[in-house]
Chains A and B, each alone.
Chain A
Amino acid sequence: MSDTLTEQKPKSVKPPKQKKPASLWSDAWYDLRRSKVFIIAAVMIAVLVVMSIIPGLFSSVNAFDPSTCDLTKARQGVSGLHWFGTDNQGCDTYSRVIYGARISIMVGVFSTLVTTLIGGLLGLLAGFYGRWTDTILSRVAEIFFAIPSTLGALLILALVGRDNAGIWTVVLALSVLAWPMVLRIMRAAVMSAKSQDYVLAARALGAGPGRLMSRHILPNAVAPVIVVATMNMGVFIAAEAALSFLGVGIQSPDISWGLMIADARNRFLQAPEALLFPALFLSLTVLAFVMLGDAVRDALDPKLR
């Protein structure tokens, strides 16, 4: 036994907090910074975002330039030069995986923006005004809600046609089918915020509908929508990959992980790396956003813990 006394280190004493965080958002941020899940997810997402903006940082080969592909080197295995091997056209799989992040992130971000703005705005109006405004908006939302989303997106993209298919048609197809979910969540949150005493009190002190919505209801109803929007980002990225895999989403020569998985599926037994690497990046990306959403929900809704 060694002398335990000399090995004992004094526990690091943190200095007491100077000011207690007070608002919902500063409280949530305080919780988030202490959440391991959030840190891991945030680091992963930060890397992915940098990857999608400046892919050159991660790969010396510009995968957007077809001249970097060499047909004579097609279907090569993992090597020092081609870390993930090469594909049917002789393009470097590693650089294609890196460059593929851009479309995934863009589809995720733009679909989330569109659905959150449309669903959020309509949900706010439906929840606040109620009555026939609510009836009409909710019924329309339910019609869209009733369409199975993969099938619906397939149908929309098939109607658009392969020649016109691309990132914006995918964003459109996903958004058209996903906004009703945001509407429902926003509507429910607004209805519960609306019945709070402080909304009645604000009315009694002369606040009009615009001010009630923007200052008293929205800030108190937006938390669940933020959580869902974060998680949706991962869901949209997975959906884009699925649609591209099925051949109706992103089209060659654009680079998408779903498309790469589709290209590699026939030679999976010979060259599993060509399928596994884009699949791994796809899974990690979706996981990162779902984890982020989880962490944000924990921070925003202390009652759930």
Chain B
Amino acid sequence: MKNPSVDTHLLPADSGTIGTEPLLAVDNLHVEFTTRQGVARAVNGVSYSLNAGETLAVLGESGSGKSVTAQAIMGILDMPPARIPKGEIRFRGTDLLQLSEAQRSQIRGQQIAMIFQDALSALNPVFTVGWQIAEMFRVHKGMSKKAAYAKAIELMDRVRIPAARQRVNDYPHQFSGGMRQRIMIAMSIALDPEVLIADEPTTALDVTVQAQIMELLAELQRESNMGLILITHDLGVVADVADKIAVMYGGRIVENAPVHDIYGNAAHPYTKGLLESIPRVDMKGQELYAIKGLPPNLLDMPTGCAFHPRCPFRQDNCVTDVPALHEISGTRSSACHYWREVLDGTAG
């Protein structure tokens, strides 16, 4: 079932883990968009890695480059206007960016799959959901129509769609938002991918449904040991599910941390701001905290640290020097000149 041509290689020296190459490694990835107004640098040297069975949450505002990174991994960016001037995306040691379109097409869906934010618009309105799930088996596995439909019903059961057998011939618009997202998930896990990228899978859903979908994803992950990348702007959603968090700002990763370390203990002012802007029950009646200012303009990035115009702890060198990603411990890093002070609470 797995593509035998993709071997597991020994790791290069700069890899984050010890012993073996991670399942998926993004290394110093740059993505630019050529627009009429100039070159928009959406991703500026992002690196992260993912092991089998691990969940990485990529956190950031709109325009932080988190979705563009995911689309670069999938190879579904429109090029042009997009361009990848630098970087590597290694899946089991093979740089995906060096593969031909036909080879990448083989990996998409079978080894790396993706689900989208709005499942209604991500499902084809003119075909029944059963047809769309069955298509995965018919195209990639050459199954007969009947066998593929049987598998589709099986999958719909697996993602807990009630009365799957009766609903297999319904159209996407006849399902509720949560059920549609389940169908999208069913399609994406149909071929047992090793990596699943979920791009804001719960943003369009009710809060109660959000929890169910996250639970479903976590459960499917446990069953199949796949690597899961959760792209979100909602810290609350990922707390229970994620193993580690990468916070993105202005096309860079500003903080890496295991999920339990980051809450209440941020090492970057931006992460701190994000955590403080979560509404809390014990702060009822008080004004909600918001990070001041606007996300950076990708066409005209601030000099130095991209966050400096909004940073409450800004010092003079933040305006001129781009901070490196400082290692704090084996699993934590922060791209702030003053990460020690932020961590101690003595900054500003």
CB within 8 Å of B: which residues of A? 20, 22-25, 196-198, 200-208, 211, 215-216, 219-220
Contact = CB atoms under 8 A, between A and B. Distances in A.
Interface of B: 74, 76, 102, 105-110, 113-116, 118, 121-128, 135-136, 139-140, 170-171, 173-174, 184, 187-188, 190-191
B113 A198 contact: no
Contact of A206 (B116, B123, B140, B171): B140
A20 B105 CA distance: 37
B76 A23 contact: no
B74 A204 contact: yes
Contacts of B115: 201
A198 B140 contact: no
A197 B171 contact: no
A202 B174 CA distance: 20
B135 A215 contact: yes
A201 B126 contact: no
A236 B299 CA distance: 51
Contacts of B110: 206
28 contacts: A22-B171, A22-B174, A197-B122, A200-B76, A200-B116, A200-B122, A201-B115, A201-B187, A203-B74, A203-B76, A203-B108, A204-B76, A204-B113, A205-B108, A205-B114, A205-B188, A205-B190, A206-B106, A206-B109, A206-B110, A206-B140, A206-B191, A207-B139, A208-B102, A211-B139, A219-B124, A219-B127, A220-B125
B100 to A, nearest CB: 12
Nearest to A217: B124
Contact of A24 (B107, B109, B125): B125
A201 B184 contact: yes
A151 B321 CA distance: 69
Contacts of B136: 205-206
Contacts of A22: 128, 170-171, 173-174
Contact of B126 (A207, A208, A219): A219
A212 to B, nearest CB: 10
B116 A197 contact: yes
Contact of B109 (A198, A200, A205): A205
Contacts of B105: 206, 208
Q: Which of A197, A202, A206, A208: most chain B Cβ within 10 A?
A: A206
B124 A205 contact: no
Contact of A220 (B76, B108, B113, B126): B126
B205 to A, nearest CB: 15
Given A23-B171, A201-B114, A206 B122 contact: no
Contacts of B109: 204-207
Contacts of A198: 121-125
A252 to B, nearest CB: 48
B114 A204 contact: yes
Secondary structure of the A contact surface, majority rule: helix
A177 to B, nearest CB: 32
Contact of A215 (B124, B125, B171): B124
A219 B171 CA distance: 14
A194 to B, nearest CB: 10
B287 to A, nearest CB: 36
A20 B108 CA distance: 36
Contacts of A208: 102, 105
Nearest to A194: B78
Contact of B121 (A23, A197, A207): A197
Nearest to A207: B139
Contacts of B135: 215
Q: Which of A24, A205, A207: most chain B Cβ within 10 A?
A: A205
Contacts of B173: 22
A236 B20 CA distance: 69
A25 B174 CA distance: 15
A202 B187 CA distance: 10
B221 to A, nearest CB: 18
Given A22-B128, A205-B190, 14 more contacts: A22-B170, A22-B174, A25-B126, A196-B121, A198-B121, A198-B123, A201-B187, A204-B114, A205-B114, A206-B139, A208-B102, A208-B105, A215-B135, A220-B126
Nearest to A206: B109
Nearest to A26: B171
Contacts of B113: 204-205
A181 to B, nearest CB: 24
Q: Which of B122, B124, B125: most chain A Cβ within 10 A?
A: B124
A226 to B, nearest CB: 13
A23 B116 contact: no
Contacts of A202: 124
A82 B190 CA distance: 72
B237 to A, nearest CB: 20
Contacts of B170: 22
Nearest to B123: A198
Contacts of B187: 201, 205
A208 B184 CA distance: 19
B126 A24 contact: yes
B230 to A, nearest CB: 16
A198 B125 CA distance: 9
Contacts of A24: 125-126
A257 to B, nearest CB: 39
